[in-house]
A and B are shown apart, each in its own frame.
Chain A
Amino acid sequence: MNNSQFPAARKSGLVIQEMPDEVLVYDLNTNKAHCLNQTAAKVWMSCDGKTSIAEIADSFGRGANEDLVWLAIDQLSESDLLENEVASKFKGQSRREVIKKIGLASIIAIPVIASLVAPQNALAATSCHCSNDNQCQNPPNVGNCPTHCCSGVGTCNSPETAPGSGICPP
């Protein structure tokens, strides 16, 4: 059986939360969250390792074609949500070109997977609090707080010798 033609959805190491018209998938291995729109979610849930891409396309009824399913498979594979990596069918073409081509021919919404990496706990809790200048010059505060210098009241907001320089007054 060709894995590319009979893709299997990955189930382990994931937290899956179904929502109206979307599925949220959190990858515990990489701390990445993915939001699958309805089309991407339907394709992913059809990937049981026994159903072919052509059959998945058929399950959408009229208005869908195999390229639409391949576009979803492509993104699912990129997001590491399939058991086996699947070679892209659209090698050499940009996703924009593919979407344009499929979009014109399909009445089904284009599959979309939005992804983000969940921040380190401290980043979520960035408070810009500090006890010395170093803490303002390193994650999670650097880039998130007004300056690189720790003020007398314990936040990274003390004026720098020259703005943006990271050089703090003694």
Chain B
Amino acid sequence: MGDLKFCFESFGVSVAIESDSAEILARAVATARSALLENVRVLECDRAEQRFQLRDDGAGLFSIIQNGEALASNDPPDFRFWKYFDSLVRILVAEHAKSVVFVHAGVVGWRGGAIVLPGSSFAGKTTLVAELIRAGAEYFSDEYAVFDNTGLVHSFPRKLSMRTSEPLFDEQPVTVESIGGRAASEPAAVKCVLFAKFEADSAWNPEVLTLGQGMMEILPQTIAIRQNTEFAINILKKAIGSAIIVKSPRPDAVDFARVFLEFVDNKAF
């Protein structure tokens, strides 16, 4: 098994994908490229440190094996299988990235700076990012803030994963252009960090956090915090050290976006 290989480097992480099926390998490579927004450089396979194997048991059951650990299987590989693989590739690279720090966050650009919205899935990041874009902000990401070693945040502009309420939270990827926005092309300094979770009937009531409190809030969203602790903490301090850091519940994104941008205009610029 594993005669067919594709090896690449992304954000300093070298990865091998192996399969004994040319068709599966081709789909895996396309999925990895898409997951990493084409931030992929082909590499000699003897340099790969991380390894995915997509194994066929001969009876049509396909498994994803990451560094020797079986993580999932499907018969036959369906949409869920590939979406899961897409997620695994992104997490693997985010976890082992050497030159940048990935934080689970939505990010938009505003008046030449960046607003970072850390939060886990289903916290409403994409919804808020979309409304901020409709209010004139530039799109950086609805999933990751990517900080370089100077603390600037870079865009990771995948399609926005808009969720519907019916059927329950189905995802509908949309381009930023389709909601009237555009993706940022340059990295930016962080001007504001907002820790907010949607709560129906809540009111915007910003509590300004100290840098230490902000660091404690952002650490759990930092993918490589356990793997590359010192680097991550140094970069995070640089990244958010000059920003205003606030925490609040937030009401519906449609009403909230303009109120929040007014707050940013008054406090962060």
Cβ-defined contact, A153 with B80, below 8 A: yes
Known contacts being A24-B215, A35-B212, A144-B122, is A118 close to B171, with CB within 8 Å? Answer: no
Q: How many A-B residue pairs have CB under 8 A?
A: 140
- B216 near A124 with CB under 8 A, answer no
A84 close to B (CB within 8 Å) = no
A104 within 8 A of B: no
* Contact pattern, B 16-29, Cβ under 8 Å of A = 1, otherwise 0: 00000000000000
- Chain B residues near A122: list those with CB within 8 A: 91
How far is A125 from B268 in the complex, measured between Cα atoms in Å?
Answer: 28
Which of A1-9, A15-23, A50-58, A74-82 lies at the interface? A15-23
CA–CA, A154 to B171, complex, Å?
9
Residue of A nearest to B237 (CB): A17
Task: Pick the contact of A132: B72, B120, B226, B229 (CB < 8 A).
Answer: B72
The answer to whether B249 has its CB under 8 Å from any CB of chain A is: no
Interface of A is mostly: loop
Decide if B168 touches A157 in the complex (CB within 8 Å): yes
Is A35's CB under 8 angstroms from B81's CB? Answer: no
Q: Is B56 in contact with chain A by the CB < 8 A criterion?
A: no
B212 & A24 in contact (Cβ 8 Å cutoff) = yes
- Inter-chain contact B121/A144, CB cutoff 8 Å: yes
Residues of B within 8 A of A17 (CB): 215, 233-234, 237
Whether, in the assembled complex, A151 has its beta carbon less than 8 Å from a beta carbon of chain B, the answer is yes
B91 x A154 contact (CB < 8 A) = no
Interface centre among B213, B229, B230, B241 (most CB of A within 10 A): B229
Number of interface residues of A (CB under 8 A): 46
Stretch at the interface among B45-53, B108-116, B188-196, B217-225: B217-225
Asked whether B185 is an interface residue with its Cβ less than 8 Å from the other chain, the reply is no
| Contacts of A125-170 to chain B: CB distance below 8 A | 125-132, 135, 144-147, 150-155, 157-159
Q: Check if B44 is an interface residue, CB within 8 A of chain A.
A: no
Q: Select one of B90, B95, B120, B233 contacting A24, CB under 8 A.
A: B233
Q: How far is the CB of B228 from chain A (nearest CB, A)?
A: 10
Task: Provide 6 A-B residue pairs closer than 8 Å at the C-beta atoms, listed in order of the A residue.
Answer: A35-B215, A118-B220, A118-B222, A124-B221, A124-B225, A154-B83
Residues of B bordering A, CB below 8 Å? 64, 72-74, 79-84, 86-87, 90-91, 94-95, 104, 120-122, 167-171, 210-213, 215-216, 219-227, 229-230, 233-234, 237, 241
Known: A17-B233, A130-B84, A152-B80. 15 other contacts (CB 8 A): A17-B215, A19-B212, A20-B210, A24-B216, A33-B215, A35-B215, A118-B225, A118-B226, A119-B220, A121-B226, A124-B104, A131-B72, A146-B168, A151-B170, A157-B169
